[in-house]
Amino acid sequence: MQRQKRAAAIHDISGFGRCSLTVALPIISAAGIETSVIPTAVLSTHTGGLSGYTYRDLTEDLKPFADHWKSLGLTFDAIYSGFLGSFRQLDIVSEIFDELKGDDTLILVDPVMADHGEMYRVFSRNFVSGMRALCKKADIITPNMTEACFMLDMAYREPPYDEKYIEEILRGLLSLGVKKAVLTGVSFDMDTLGAACIEAETGRTDYVYRDRVEGFYHGTGDVFASVLLAALMRDKTLPEAADIAVGFTADSIKRTKAAGTDVRFGVNFEAGLYDLMKKLG
Ligand code: PXL
């Protein structure tokens, strides 16, 4: 194996419900990548359909975390942000990118804030412009259809979509100032679901799909983005990484559907880690 790579993941910890750091940490670590974390908030569960959760906002801790790491001279091959604990964290995370990145650091921003045409209940609509600004700092972003439409001031539409519409969104995402974008929740017919990628350097677009499984499974965006990052850090190309991430996410959903687990509890990604490692080579 080559020199061990190091990633920093900036997300919340939802104690129960398999999303954000409880997904990113095992997936990226299992790929052989040293994974450090900056927790943005600590919750008893995520906020998607579970009520009564505790919420400890860690806004004041983020910059001291990064300053300490900087004082230790730590360097990162990738910095990956996801669910942020407050509006102010948008600017703070932007500063942390500047503070911790080196010449070759890959910055991945998953603009976690909305799904199925609606903002997550903890975020107001003005979070969108802040997230758009944070995306400018990214090399690669991984919005779902709702997040992409909101950031591009386009009305959210339900699937199925056509290629012209998806290409318009992909080009719009590049105009935010990123090098690469991977759009999730792309569906041209009701039997398949997947992701579309675009790279600014070549203008090339790629599509990857699997069979659609009915139901809204929680945390799948985090599973997808974590696998995508792990695969990119293991030197896969963007379409290869997207294909691995779509396949891994679809398999995790299928497994969970077969087990009949509550969709709010997240997906069984754990059983797929061994095969994922083999795929990453
Ligand atoms: O999976 C996205 C996510 C992450 N973290 C928290 C959430 C959500 C989505 O609802 O509530 C706390």
Share of the chain above pLDDT 70, in %: 100
**Hunting for tokens 């579309």 — which residue is that?**
196
Cβ–ligand 1 contact at 47 (below 6 Å): yes
CA–centroid distance, residue 155 to ligand 1 (Å)? 23
Give 133 Cα–ligand 1 centroid separation in angstroms.
20
pLDDT recorded at residue 1: 55
pLDDT in tens, 10-41: 999 999 999 999 999 999 999 999 999 999 99
CA distance 116 to 185: 9
Mean pLDDT of 129-150: 98
* C-alpha–C-alpha distance, residues 98 and 3, integer Å: 24
Q: How far is the CA of 221 from the centre of ligand 1 (A)?
A: 9
pLDDT the model gives residue 8: 98
Domain architecture of the chain: domains with CATH: 6-280 (3.40.1190.20)
φ, ψ (nearest 5 deg) of residue 241: -65, -40
The pLDDT tens digits for 59-115 are 999 999 999 999 999 999 999 999 999 999 999 999 999 999 999 999 999 999 999
**CB of 188 closer than 8 Å to CB of 235:** no
At residue 281 the predicted structure's pLDDT band, cuts being 50, 70 and 90, is confident
Q: How far is the CA of 2 from the centre of ligand 1 (A)?
A: 34
Query: DSSP readout, the chain?
Result: --SPPEEEEEEEEEEESS-THHHHHHHHHHTT-EEEEEEEEEEEE-SSS--S--EEE-HHHHHHHHHHHHHTT---SEEEE---SSTHHHHHHHHHHHHH--TTPEEEE---SEETTEE-TTS-TTHHHHHHHHHTT-SEE--BHHHHHHHTT----PSP--HHHHHHHHHHHHHTT-SEEEEEEE-SSTTEEEEEEEETTT--EEEEEEE--SS--TTHHHHHHHHHHHHHHTT--HHHHHHHHHHHHHHHHHHHHHHT--GGG----GGGHHHHHHHH-
- The pick from 112, 115, 217, 264 for probing ligand 1's pocket by mutation, whose C-beta has the most ligand atoms within 8 angstroms, reads 112
Q: What is the pLDDT of residues 176-232, one digit of tens each?
A: 999 999 999 999 999 999 999 999 999 999 999 999 999 999 999 999 999 999 999
**Judging by DSSP bridges, how do beta strands 114-115 and 118-119 pair with one another?**
antiparallel
Closest C-alpha to ligand 1, atom 2: 219
Ligand 1 lined by 14 (C-beta under 6 Å): yes
- Ligand 1 closest atom vs CA 43: 12
Mutational test site, ligand 1, from 13, 14, 51, max ligand atoms within 8 Å of CB: 14
Does 43 contact ligand 1 (Cβ within 6 A)? yes
Q: What's the CA-to-centroid distance between 1 and ligand 1, angstroms?
A: 34
- In this structure, the residue with its CA closest to atom 6 of ligand 1 is 46
CB of 120 closer than 6 angstroms to any ligand 1 atom: yes
222 Cβ closer than 6 Å to some ligand 1 atom: yes
- Alpha carbon separation from 186 to 205, 218, 234 (Å, rounded): 13, 17, 25
CB-ligand 1 contact for 170 (6 Å cutoff): no
192 strand-pairing partners: 211
- What's the 224 CA to ligand 1 centre distance in angstroms? 14
